[in-house]
């Protein structure tokens, strides 16, 4: 009986997960919240990778976590960056975004 219990205890003690946290670079509070969740998961023994698609260039360095080691940034498409330089975000949404192609993959370029 002891032989069956020991392997099952070792398996349950050593179980950890690989977690992908989607953290779009939109604002500080959003990044801080997701960073805090990432830190808690790391403290619990899980491996965390953070995916940060950059929507606003000035927010690209927001991570919100002090412990995440694996960070994948997906940079902005140059057309979106240019649109943000030409107008404020509200103006951009009202004038141009609703007239664009519905395929959102053009917003991100993977390097």
pTM: 0.62
pLDDT for position 47: 94
Of 18-27, 40-49, 82-91, the one with minimum mean pLDDT is: 82-91
Q: Is residue 76 situated within a structural domain?
A: yes
Domain that holds residue 55: 15-109
Which string of DSSP letters, residue by residue, matches 24-76?
-BS-HHHHHHHHHHHHHHHHTT-EEEEEEEBSSGGGTT----SS--EEEEEEE
- Count of structural domains within the chain: 1
Q: Is residue 4 situated within a structural domain?
A: no
CA atoms within 13 A on the CB side of 72: 11
The neighbour count for residue 72, using CB atoms within 10 Å, is 11
Strands 70-76 and 108-109 turn out to be antiparallel
Q: Is residue 43 situated within a structural domain?
A: yes
Collect all residues with Cβ–Cβ distance below 8 Å to 59 and sequence separation of at least 6.
25, 26, 27, 28, 31
pLDDT digits (tens, 9 = 90+) for 85-103: 776 656 666 666 666 666 6
Could you tell me what percent of the chain has a pLDDT over 90?
Answer: 30
Collect all residues with Cβ–Cβ distance below 8 Å to 5 and sequence separation of at least 6.
none
């Amino acid at each position: 009986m002891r032989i069956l219990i020991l392997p099952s205890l070792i398996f349950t003690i050593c179980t950890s997960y690989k977690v992908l946290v989607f953290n779009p670079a939109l604002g500080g509070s959003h990044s801080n919240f997701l960073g805090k969740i990432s830190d808690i998961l790391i403290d619990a023994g899980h491996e965390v990778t953070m995916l940060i698609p950059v929507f606003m260039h000035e927010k690209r360095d927001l991570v919100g976590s002090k412990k995440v080691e694996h960070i994948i940034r997906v940079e902005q498409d140059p057309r979106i960056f240019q649109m943000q330089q030409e107008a404020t975000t509200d103006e951009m949404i009202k004038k141009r975004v609703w007239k664009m192609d519905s395929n959102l993959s053009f917003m991100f370029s993977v390097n």
